[in-house]
Amino acid sequence: MLTALALAFLAQLTPSTGNNVSEDLSLRLTPEVLVTRAVRPAVVSIQAEVPQVDMFGQTRIATSGGSGAVIYDDGWVVTNFHVVNGATSIKVSLEPIAGQPPVEFTARLVNSVAEEDLALLKIDAPPGTVFATVTLGTSSDLMVAEPVIAIGNPYGQTLTVSRGIISGLHRDITIEGQGLRFSNLIQTDASINPGNSGGPLLNIYGQLIGINTVVNRQAENIGFAIPVDRIQEVIEESLLAPSRAASWYGFDVDSKSAVAVGGSANGDETVAFRVTSVTPGGPAARGGFEVGDLLTGWGERRFQSADAFVLARAELTPEVPVRFVVRRDGRDRVIELRGWERDEGLVFDRAGFKGRTSLMSDRRYRRYFTWIEEIRPGGPAERLGLRQGDLIESFQAKGRQVVVPRSPQILALYLNTLEPGAEVDLDVWRDENENGQLDYSNAVSELLRGTLVIE
């Protein structure tokens, strides 16, 4: 009797066969499973090598990890800036084909906005490579308690999926020790750990609604993501804006007003962009660019849309020769330019000089200066009377603290916060007697002071 009962009980536990298997599988195919299958190919694991100096003054290479999401099919990845900050080498891995190792590529940092903790990478892949992308949703209609999915690489565990809900909206967070303050973040209880940074937060349709960025380590299941609407604004206004591109050439175009110029070699309609300004003394002015020229492309690149131009412009690298093609009076002209670093260009454009960092030290002191190596004709620096070889020790905008220009980046960042017409007081040294020293005494002073008016 007991044996019969046991057999009957075991029979109830035996897996069903036939059509029931299909029915059971369909129950397992939840929205979370379908979203994961669709989006995982567009999520990358990021490994960044960052030089660090230890307490003994020795440089070692540290490796940091994070995640990212492919947003354009030719290999553009959005991630957190802190994932790649200071990196000298970046590698990204994509989901492997079954039974194969992960597909790995090198990538390069194209642009970043540190205060937004966002960065844009470009995967170095053979021409014609097409990557899976994540669809951008909106964060304008998010609801507290709606389900979300996070994908990332926590603690090196590649493409880990967690699910949760939106726990709160419009959260303001300060990151201690980093000087970062975020506003309007999405709060979620989906598991977010080190390595998830830069990975996508998705809604139940598989659309990107945020980039995972920080976690409250003092509590469980409290993570935060940058809303996708803000991400799109930063991409359009900063990360991909021609004025914020890494390489500066000293000319601007109206990238929103494309001009049709005919067909390309493959028959597609191509567009050009009108040059709206040329900075005197900059690379473009020296090369012969003029306002009104039509920029039709560079090298073999031609463009079918404004978006294609913006992406291609962001890829250009400083100091690498580029053969621009401009159309003037119905004729195409090739003008080769070498771009400057963006920070150098911004200072040249707004303050009227090109400078580099100079360090002077002896047993008594160690001082940083910006050494002026070039003056822009007609610019603020020339109007003030600055000269090549002058050393800027400090600068101070009205009502602000004194800043020591330890690098062109610091100077550019500072100038970028000032409106045109802002006045900046400078302390400048000039070796008038050419004795190789900076003299300051009752008898002789080589310290000059003046006010620069920013353009």
The catalytic site residues sit at 82, 117, 197
Distance, CA of 123 to CA of 104 (rounded, Å): 10
Q: Which residues contact 55 (CB under 8 A, 6 or more apart)?
A: none
Q: Which residues contact 129 (CB under 8 A, 6 or more apart)?
A: 74, 75, 123
Residue 313 is classified by DSSP as H
Hey, what are 95's tokens? 């989901």
302 membership: H or E segment, kind and range: none
Q: Which residues contact 319 (CB under 8 A, 6 or more apart)?
A: 338, 339, 340
Q: Which residues contact 106 (CB under 8 A, 6 or more apart)?
A: 89, 90, 91, 92, 123, 124
Helix 408-416 vs helix 342-350: crossing angle, to nearest 10:
50
Hey, what are 220's tokens? 């469980």
Query: Considering only CA atoms, which of 373, 372, 361, 368 is closest in space to residue 410?
Result: 368
Coil vs helix vs strand at 208: strand
The number of helix segments (H) and strand segments (E) in the chain equals 10, 25
Hey, what are 265's tokens? 């070699």
Q: What is the 3-state secondary structure (H, E, C) of 325-344?
A: EEEECCEEEEEEEECEEHHH
Q: SS3 helix, strand, coil % of the chain, rounded to 5?
A: 20, 45, 35
Distance, CA of 48 to CA of 268 (rounded, Å): 39
Q: Are 189 and 223 in contact (CB under 8 A)?
A: yes
As a whole number of Å, the CA-based R_g of the chain is 28
Query: Considering only CA atoms, which of 75, 68, 65, 69 is closest in space to residue 105?
Result: 75
